[in-house]
Amino acid sequence: MYKFTEEQLMIRDMVREFTANEIEPRDRAMDENGFDWDLIPKLVDAGLMAIHMPEEYGGGGGDTITSEIVINEIAKGSASIALFLDAHWLAADMILLHGTEEQKKKYVPLCAEGKVFAFGLTESNAGSDAAAIKSVAEKQPDGSYILNGGKAWITNSGIADYYLIMAKTDPEAGNKGISVFIVPKEAEGLTVGKFEKKMGMRGSGTCELSFDNIKLPADALVGSEGRGFMIAMQALDGARISIGAIASGLMQHAMDKAIKYAKERVTFGKPIYKHQAVGFKFADMAAKIRATDLMIWDTCEMKDSGVRFSTEAAELKLLASRWACEVCDDCIQIHGGNGYSHEFDVERFYRDAKLLEIGEGTSEILRMVISGAVIGR
């Protein structure tokens, strides 16, 4: 088992306490009312909005393991807020890893100040088939770009201050014609739609975006033209580790609730956890959580050491997201009829878990990635 450093353990304990006091008590209300804006300044004060960003840009200087500790602990109180932070980092990291020095100095410090970023790839007719996006950024004689099109299912939309938007600069070049642009929320021609009414993860904002002749300066381009697809796929590799961390935290949260219930609920003269059929469910849950954690920390180490980890991140997300759905389903079953009620949290966890099999690469796409890597070895 991976051994955390003393600093990582201190951060884990701090985030665990912060989550218990500030995040978990809000999760049920966010399921009804949406994202709680009061959490942004609290996340800033706790130093969590940019904990893994380099210190020279105002961040905490943490490594990948540290950042995933944060995601994992927050998910034990609210999968929605863990997803919010994951999406924020997914977008901001694109600037950190591929932006010019001027872009890094301008935008990365904003993360620590509480400005929110969002990643914009998916469109209504282009989800898994990312190369099929229709948004176009047409270069002008003065070097600027005119952006037209739209996006769908964008996490943090309606909350974000800046959007990292993938658009085609060469519509004839397929995925090699996609580029990335920084679009501020106040850009003229940007319309943010209403918040979607979702099955789960209701504490995170999700809207459609529309682009109508948005004029972007030349320095809105991140990286070089035609590199957007590669930049996005690299960013998603890292984000898939975070999905694994969310899955682990959500499973632990659900199991903790089910254990508490199983100790209190009595049938046939004894607490239900003493019935073998129930006890075996907890054994399976514990094994799935431990296996997920081992994959998380192993893949984190690969990323930090500079080793290619695309396949391992896909394997982690594939299994962890499925297991999260299974664990939450078992927790509902342990609760019986009560598990089907809003009064008990496990039904919300089940709804939240399903998104993990869809967002940032569906399970079907992940199997394509993994099988291609295995067969090609």
Looking at residue 126, its pLDDT comes to: 87
pLDDT of res. 177: 96
266 pLDDT more than 70: yes
Phi, psi of 124 (to 5 degrees): -60, -30
Residues of the chain with CATH 1.20.140.10: 230-376
Please report, rounded to a whole number, the percentage of residues in the chain having pLDDT higher than 90: 96
**pLDDT band per the 50, 70, 90 thresholds, residue 365:** very high
Q: Which of 2-6, 69-73, 85-89, 289-293 bottoms out in mean pLDDT, i.e. has the lowest?
A: 2-6
pLDDT value at residue 141:
97
Angstrom CA distances, 54 to 140, 154, 216, 223, 350, stand at: 34, 26, 27, 19, 36
Q: Are 335 and 322 in contact (CB under 8 A)?
A: no
Distance CA 328, CA 311 (A): 26
Strand partners, 270: 267
- Asked if the model's pLDDT at residue 69 lies above 90, the reply is yes
User: Tokens for 26?
Assistant: 């809000």
- pLDDT-based confidence at 377, cuts 50/70/90? low
**Above 80 in pLDDT, residue 363?**
yes
Structure-model confidence comparison of residues 1 and 39, the more confident one: 39
Find the mean pLDDT for residues 269-274: 95
CA distances from 9 to 2, 3, 23 (A): 12, 9, 20
Using a pLDDT cut of 70, give the percent of the chain over it. Answer: 99
pLDDT for residue 221 is more than 90: yes
Instruction: Identify the residue whose tokens are 């995170």.
Output: 204
Q: What is the pLDDT of residue 315?
A: 98
| pLDDT for 1 beyond 70 | no
Amino acid 282: pLDDT: 98
Q: Which two tokens stand for residue 357?
A: 């099999």
CATH classification (class only), 6-115: mainly alpha
- Tell me the pLDDT of the chain averaged across its residues: 96
CATH 1.10.10.60 matches 118-226: no
Distance CA 181, CA 287 (A): 42
Catalytic residues: 360
- The answer to whether residues 318 and 366 touch, using CB atoms and an 8 Å cutoff, is yes
CATH 2.40.110.10 in the chain, residues?
Answer: 118-226
**What is the mean pLDDT of the segment spanning 161-165?**
98
Grouping H, G, I as helix, E, B as strand and the rest as coil, residue 47 is: coil
Q: Does domain 230-376 have CATH number 3.10.20.740?
A: no
CATH 1.10.540.10: which residues of the chain?
6-115
